[in-house]
Structure 1
């Protein structure tokens, strides 16, 4: 089966007709972004085959918000060297027509013909579902379902088995089924499907395990009883020995001695800290005394330094004051030059401004004239454009519908001529005065009529003659003729015309108006690309700018050119030089004032400091302070020596006492006392617990319970072994019978396995995939790996699903069944290496089947070897054709 053309109209987003034609017999790559209509196109193809034309549950096909729509789908395809043309409409205009070569089918007959061809069925009521889709449901993969193949194979199973039987003949016999089921029934009473025990067999296994656990528990309790007796004797001896020796009391005495020694060391450390603090305070006081003495002794040297500083500051002040006159004169000259340059620059600017405004006025006047001319032309072209649009609206008609109308009229004429050639011809010549009626209507004395339907000829005095045109071909021709007449009437009514000639006249007038409209639009855009209003607005803006420029020119004074005006560049250069000179002179003058003030302040500060030091150096209080400082330093030194000696001696005493070790001894003795007392208490509690447990266990009769449980285990074991041997025998017998049955099944599956292995070797060279009795892909193995296909990753399951579908397609083609593979955005989860292998597989399969691949990632399929079909481009072309 080779799909050649798809046309849809009023289907979801495709309100206007969209045609997908020139489809290749192999690979066809159809791409477009999300929401471009790929899934809609796939849904339309599915609806054309799966949905009943009279169904009322296909509202999803209608464009959104259009309750009056009649979704229409046309398909052209080839099968067994015959051309098939299917037209199906839903909702408001329900119909289905199928033409196969020269044969035509309609309504239910056409739908059943399609279902028989492709291998699917229609629902009795409601929307079509997956269980009805059969072979197309297996080969047509919807978006996001490529990995789900089990249900699709199940729904297509009967058709696949029919294809296999047509290839290899019926090899599976049901003669041994009763025996296998009988053995399986007996086995199932003892074992589950996975070989696990069940029923009495399972209960015996559980009882045996429980008896063994009980025996092990009793044996463990007996061992524990004996261990507890031994532990009681040993623990009693340890408890009595500890009570006699009482080791925690010796540890308490050692703890008290260690605490007393540590308290003595703590008192020494406290005295040491007090003396250290006193020594630190004494040292700080000594440092202050030395600072005061050094300050008083350095006063004379400071006085000499201050005198030198005073002399230097006086000289620097006098030198700075001497340059004041020269700097003031330079500033005045720079200011005069700046003012002259500023006046020259102002006149140059006035002259340049007037020149620029005059040029702007001339330019705006020219633009205003051009825009006025374009505005007049645009209004003329707009008038022509409106007239052409009105003419196009009056005569607007669907060209494809007119073409279809003409084709229908031609078919009707051909069918009328054909009917005339095969109709029953009735001719008559009556005697004068004889009255005869045909179908209740009187006829002339002489005439002729062609009859396509059963008629009656009434002759007065004679009777009524019945005339029945013969032949199935005539009945078929009559039905076709009625259908074509009805179709032609509906098409004429839909177009709103009275005849085909009137439709052609309107179409010619519409096309002429469209050409005129296009020419007028081109002329209009050449003078007003954005429209008349923006052009008029632009012309008004130019007029406002022109008035503004004239006002500015009138308000700008004319410069005095009697003394000559330099050009703008020369005036700006002179002004820049004068401004730089003035700025430099101002900077030098400001710097000079700052230096003069700084020198004066430095001289005054040096004079005041020298005067203060001179007075302080001669005061009697200073001499008295020097003598007092000497006495204080001597007394401080003696006290310092005494403290340092006492600190060294005490530090030696503390070090010999080792306080860290004393603290560790205290901690060690405390922990030892706690541990010794706690250990004795623990022994006492354990002794009481053991005595209580031994008394309880001795009363239970553990050895008698053990012997009783061993007897029950022996009886249970005998019965368990009987059922175990029976289960193994039944399982072995069922396995042998099943293997024999599977050998026959594998012969039936061999053709399918052959095609599956062909594709699998391209994707996984060292792998194998087996199919089960229902022809579903099941066990997958690769090297040492073994598992079910459902255990693979999502991407691998998607790839295995596709190659399985291609294998089914090969099987169907080999059996002479039609195949068409549709893939909607599949393999999106494949990595680059696997995708490359899948491209090889698709290219190979395309040599045997037609494949429609829909994708929103065309860049991933550039190397597929086929020209891509851009769905967006088709939509643009469809709009342009209207």
Structure 2
């Protein structure tokens, strides 16, 4: 029977932050055509959430239902029909989650509603974090989200079992017999005591109770053992702490670091006399080297004497002559070394003097530049004050600008006055008396002769004994009133802006506009006058310049008029550096030459000493050498001399380093380190004493509680609980094994289902791929398609072909489920996106035919592809 969706309502579900209701879904083909990102895929996800995701879940999938960045409760409400029965489900997630299912049996809420919905649609509880469509049953396979139909996949266990149940009678397998059903029912009853439908251990029942007992007993035993171990560890920790305290006290009693600290304190004074110490170390090194050379020379003489026993007589004369020649060379070489050393010392002194002169010269140049910069800053400060005074005056003038609206009102009032005056003149009466005007009055006042007078209202003129009444037109009075009102408005406007007339206002505005330009020019000048000056650490801006000048003391320094050339001083230093390098090279070469001469003379002296005696007295020479007091232990003496020379070299290097790199701060840091280490030792001793006291308190508290007996009893209880759990584990494993054996038998029989499944699917596929044969595996998954004798694995087919096969196999499974009477409907999100025009038309025909057996809903953004179909069209 088909499942018919009637009404869908969403609120606070992902992108739908406002309520959305979809109504008018029909029984056959329904098409929702909307642009991308309008929420079509969200609607399908909401349907799956309403039917298959439990309301109280807090998993990652449920968290994704809420709109991004908002803490609200997603709500879904769906009305649907199954057969002749109407149902309604309402769910709310995350905040105050709840569910309500209304149907023929009445209304249910909470877990009862979830269980009723699960029994109605034939799915199982999903415990995954992201949602497992395999647990959704038939609708999980037939409600296809976007892009999930691009690969041909096998149906889930629930769908596969349902299809197998449908085909058992058709294939005639004995696995579906009555005996099998009785055995299977009994095994399932026992299986449910131990296992969930998904093959996981039950979380309730006696097996869980045994596991809980075993866990609790193990935990109790572990806790008892932990307490016992903690007590024993406290004993160990106490002894360890006492041992560490002894070691620490021994370390604290050690005065080595105190001696080091005293040495460091003394090193502060040593640093001041490093040069003198360096000379001392040089002398010591030279003495040790000389002693080593003497001992090694004695050893060489002894060896030479023994070797010269046979050749002494023949070579004596030649050696003597050679030595006489070398004597002059030695003296010349020593003199050359002395002169080179003196030249090197002089070059180094000249270099030091050149460096000092360069430093002094650079300081004087920097001071001169700073003075020049300060003088420039004072001058710019004076100019700045003048410009700021001008800027203040210009801003005052600029602020007197009358707004354009006010000027417009003044101009309008001026035009109104002119217009009113013209109206008065047009409607008024003008009189003028010429000649004798005695006894003629107007308004009780004498009339002035030869002056025209304009009358705008009724006027009485006394003429002797009579009165002349003049009544101008009525418009003259109204025109005069308009003129008076215009004068009054203009007077108020002029008074508000403190100007006498419109011309004065225009003149004032011209002055203000000129002042605005002046303000911009002066501000630019001030900005250009106050740049940053790195030499004085002066930031840009007038405030920084004022602050600098205010902080400067009066300049009372005498100008330095001496010409200083840093370049000359630098060239002088470079020349002295070159001279030092040259002197060092000459000195090194002289020393090298002298050493070469000495190296030649030393064996000659030994040979001469050996050759001085004849062959018969050579052994006496050896005896004489060996009889010398310093020959005894000569090898040890040489080793000792080499050690002394090495130590002297180390001390000499240290002296050189101290003379050039002794730093009081470094010595102070070393002293601080020693003090910190001593303080840390005291703190550590205090901590160990506290730890010892704490361990002793723990031992005193826990020692009398019989922890060993408690641990033994807990271990016995744990063993008993474990044995009971092992028995139940064996029972559960046996039950599972029986069920697995039956399932294997049923799976073996299920392989015979492949033929009927392929036959049903071929009905649909034959129209798309004429003559093709379908190959399914034991899991009822389509594995390959054979066309024209060539077998092609589904994974190698094009995406369009895979999508078409996936839709057609789903239709075949849907027809089988309909035969079993299960609620079925088909929803495809953006289907057939890779189909060509011909196959697209054929697939839409197949979907139209399928909509006659079940409700089909297409969610798409392609109006052109599905425009020709006769279907119920729904808009979001």
Q: TM-score, normalised by structure 1?
A: 0.33
Q: TM-score, normalised by structure 2?
A: 0.33
